[in-house]
Amino acid sequence: MSHKKLRQGLIETCIAMNESGLNQGTSGNLSHRIEGGMLITPTSMPYDQMKNDDIVEMAFDGTVTGKHRPSSEWRFHRDILRKRSDVNVVLHTHSVYCTTLATHGRGIPSFHYMVAVAGGTDIRCAPYACFGTQELSTVALEALKDRTACLLGHHGLIVLAETYEKAMWRAIEIETLAKMYVHALAIGEPPHLSEKEMAQVIEQMRRMAYGDAPDLDKVKDTPKLPVARSASVAPDTKAEKPARQYPKALKVKVTVKSPANSATKLAPVQGTVAGKAVAPKESAKTVAAPKAASPKTRSTKALATKATTPAKKTIASKKKATTEAAPVATGSAATSFKSLVGSALSRRK
Read off the amino acid at residue 232: S
- For 140, counting Cβ atoms within 10 Å of its Cβ (0-12 exposed, 13-18 middle, 19+ buried), the class is buried
Residues 6+ apart with CB under 8 A from 308: 329, 333, 336, 337
Q: Which of 44, 52, 171, 175 is nearest to 102 (CA)?
A: 175
Q: Is 324 a catalytic residue?
A: no
Backbone angles phi, psi at 32, to 5 degrees: -140, 140
- CB crowding 162-195: b at 16 or more within 10 Å, else e: eebebbbebbbbbbebbbbbbeeeeeeeeeebee
Dump strand ranges (E) for 41-139: 56-59, 64-65, 89-93, 125-126
C-beta separation of 163 from 139 below 8 A: no
Q: Exactly one of 19, 35, 73, 135 is catalytic; which is it? A: 73
- Radius of gyration from C-alpha coordinates of the chain: 56
| Alpha-carbon distance values, 307 to 237, 310, 315 (Å) | 80, 8, 19
Give the Cα separation of 119 and 268 in Å (integer): 96
Asked if 91 and 159 touch (Cβ cutoff 8 Å), the reply is: yes
Dihedral of alpha carbons 126, 131, 132, 135, sign = negative
Task: Please give the positions annotated as active site.
Answer: 73
